[in-house]
Structure 1
Amino acid sequence: MEGLGIPKPRPWWWYLGPAFLVSVGYMDPGNWATSLEAGSRYGYSLLFVVTLSSLMALFLQGLAAKLGVATGKDLAQHLRESRLWPLLFAVAFLAMLATDLAEFMGVAVALSLLFGLPLLLAAWLTVLDVLLFLYLERFGLRAVEAAVAALVGVIGLAYVVELFLAKPDGMSLLRHAFLPDGALLERDALYLALGILGATVMPHNLFLHSAQVKTRLGEARKRVYRFLLWDTALALSGAWLVNGAILVMAAVFHREGLVITDFAEAYRTLSPLLGPLAALAFGVALLASGLSSTVTGTLAAQVVVEGFLRLRVERGRLRLLVRLLALLPAAVALSLGLPAMALIVLSQVVLSLTLPVALFPLARLTQDPARMGELQNGPLARALAWGAALFVTGLNLWLLGRLLVG
């Protein structure tokens, strides 16, 4: 085949990577915050919401990957064609700042817990992660993907340890993972369930995934998309397991009658409940989550800036700019005594409010036969895409209504 000038098809494993970068966003500190409170307050009752959210994320990330494969352009580049692109860019960049806020606060909390540093000092130290990114960048994008995959492995291993120590009830886990619980009918449980859903699907992941898949083009688009869909399914299944594990671990607090709304409280309380190894695993996993998500956050910010502004940017400088823009107001808030968890929750609210800016165009673009060709959405995919966009918008309106009435 190669002797005739026809390139040999690449093996399936060559396509693995883009979704693993994206999967980090589904186990970042924002997800930790909601899963910790859900598990400690309701036990396994909201585990079904984690499953439902993961399925929704899998579908939407598949659409983002399909857009990049079919058109050779990422979501930001498509949105640049709109006459409203300056407004769309402003909203997308705000989402990048909110994403970075949750990420560096996770790193700061982990550094504070593991090394006893004051939280404000730990937050300023997170600026140094730009050095980590610049070091990885020297070895190319594959090295970045491998480093992120290794950090994701650390997170998974840490929760294997914690689940072993927690000794969950297997049959109860299966039932709650795939069947809705009556607790969802309670007002506070429903509010928390919507928080889990809102923290799971984030705009920066859609921008990033639509761009990263372009590194795997070169063969028939249908074949490329099929393998990248498997990549997405594998990566987000891992994210589902990690988020589920966080909630299951937090159910240990529920059995003790404790409700956890702070990372430090969870870290300190794990030692007497499960032993010091569990607390150490928690801190290491949180650190790995924060570090890996800062790397993917930088890549997503680059996609947004370059796609909308049509210029090349130096990643290290962009990393530093985004970090400082997010860190300065956060440092002021921390110095005034605002809890870290409150800042993370605020970032998730901002992300949820900005998500429709990505979802509605994604639904419209992926059903356009002129752009997508043979990969255009079928009737079922169209209904699900528009349904997801409308559902998230309705969720945002509901959250805003709750905020307005206190």
Structure 2
Amino acid sequence: MYTTGPKAAAKADLQDSAPSRLQHLLGPAFVAAIAYVDPGNVATNFTAGTTYGYLLVWVVVAANLMACLVQYLSAKLGLVTGQSLPEALRDRMPRVGRLAYWAQAELVAVATDLAEVLGGAIALYLLFDLPLLAGGLITGLVSTGLLALQSRRGQRSFERVIIGLLAVIAVGFFAGLFVTPPSAPDAVNGLIPRFAGADSVLLAAGMLGATVMPHAVYLHSALARDRHGRQEGEQRRKLLSATKYDVGMAMLVAGAVNLAMLLLAATALQGSETDGSLEGAYAAVGTTFGGAIALLFAVGLLASGFASTAVGCYAGAAIMGGLLRRRIPLVIRRVVTLIPAVVMLALGADPTQALVISQVVLSFGIPFALAPLVVLTSRRSVMGSYANRRVVTVAATLVTTIIIALNLVLIYLTATGAS
């Protein structure tokens, strides 16, 4: 279960607005940011770089800008109302609708967990030649330990560990760029929005689906609420201002890591035979950069799997607790949600194909998270004077429309096999 941060501590932090105190208010967005650098992102970004070079750089940048707005709105909802997004929806939905909404949200959470456990399993296979099933079980065990830390030591301890893993992820994927720097003119040219056929559209939609993830939207509102509680007046204003820094810094790190993945692939791996898999990307990195960089790549992937599966399970608990008012210990939930991934690994399913399927399932859940978030944060009856300004509402509506449209394209092209 999630832990509510001490309100007295939050109040003390808010009373001193000096930059040295800002660090005490940072953290929730960095936990949510793990969803933006999970194994699904690694797979899609490396595929984009090896297949199309710098062509889809603009997708990474655009997705990160969209994520900044979405995650800030989620945190703002939690801080202003004292409710997570699932809780706010629960109070405004009939029982049947609430159960149906919970079912789709849980399906998305399971799909997310599947991709993240597979990523950890693949990393352990690359590092230690462990069977994928054993790697999946170890990934589940480590994430269980992280969740136990959250339950026993509180949210801040959990945040510090997750931020540490985020730093490991960053090192793992930035290392290759110091060996072979990307072409600045080509990277700038990649900022021009364009495609190169239906396959590039499919990949761009997959990149977006792997970036703006439903469970991160649900989770961030709960993280902000649990860390700070509901504040009033001047304290609320200061906290919302600090939250902008939290979101901006976290998304900057996550966006830079995603961009590093694509640039690394575009600079040195374009045209390599990676077969679209994480194993293929690892082999190509080793061939091009040598064993040391390949080792850092695998370690970064492992940290991504460990951190993202723990955060994903945390999000699932926030969804269930918010919509159904039912809470089970996070460790028990971790064991239950691990079962689909373990079964898939035991049956010998192709992990790359499983990752693709998981991204399609995530696409179904995006409208259910984004549309209510925009509507709720735009209503004065919910947010009072902190309701979105017209320009923010228009921007958020546009972002939501673009994300939903691209994910519908992803679903269609995947179902039809169009190219």
Match 2:145 to one of 111, 131, 134 = 131
CA 1:329–1:229: 2 relative to 1, 3 Å = same
Shift of 1:96: 0.8
- 1:106-145 equivalences under 5 Å are 106-129=119-142, 130-135=144-149, 137-145=151-159
Q: Which runs of structure 2 are paired with 1:182-221 in the superposition (5 Å)? A: 182=194, 184-214=195-225, 215-217=227-229, 218=231, 220-221=235-236
- Residues 4-403 of structure 1 mapped to structure 2, 5 A cutoff: 9-10=15-16, 11-81=21-91, 82-83=93-94, 84-129=97-142, 130-135=144-149, 137-176=151-190, 178-180=191-193, 182=194, 184-214=195-225, 215-217=227-229, 218=231, 220-255=235-270, 257-324=272-339, 326-333=340-347, 335=348, 338-403=349-414
Q: The residue matched to 1:251 in structure 2 has which SS? A: helix
Aligned to 2:165, the other structure's residue is in SS state helix
Q: 2-side partners of 1:273 and 1:405: how far apart?
A: 35
Rounded to whole Å, the distance in 2 between the matches of 1:190 and 1:36 is: 15
2:263 and 2:50 map into 1 onto residues whose CA distance is 9
Shift of residue 310, structure 1, vs aligned partner: 1.1
Following TM superposition, by how much is the alpha carbon of 1:391 offset from its aligned partner in structure 2, in angstroms?
Answer: 2.6
Measure how far apart 1:163 and its partner are. Answer: 1.0
| Structure 1: segments with no counterpart, 5+ residues | 1-5
DSSP 3-state at the match of 2:396: helix
Residue 198 of structure 1, CA deviation: 1.7
Identical positions, percent: 35
Aligned residue identity for 2:228 = R
Unpaired stretches in structure 2, ≥5 consecutive residues: 1-10
Q: CA deviation at 1:179?
A: 3.1
Offset of 1:254 from its aligned partner?
A: 4.0
SS of structure 2 residue aligned to 1:44: coil
Rounded Cα–Cα distance in structure 2 between residues aligned with 1:149 and 1:49: 25
1:149-179: CA deviation from partner (whole Å, max 9, x where unpaired) = 0000011122232111222223332442x33
Change (3 A) 1:92 1:256: closer
Change over 3 Å in CA distance of 1:271–1:190 after alignment to 2? same
1:138 alignment partner, SS class: helix
For 2:159, give the aligned amino acid.
E
Q: TM-score, normalised by structure 2?
A: 0.89
Cα pair distance change 1:30/1:225, threshold 3 Å: same
Deviation at 1:225, TM superposition (A): 0.9
**More displaced 10-residue stretch of structure 1: 278-287 or 339-348:** 339-348
Q: After TM superposition, give the deviation of residue 259 of structure 1 in Å.
A: 4.6
Within 2, Cα distance between the matches of 1:170 and 1:185? Answer: 21
Task: Give the superposition deviation at 1:332.
Answer: 4.8
- SS of 2:15's partner is coil
Question: Alignment partner of 2:327: what SS?
Answer: coil
Aligned pairs, how many?
394
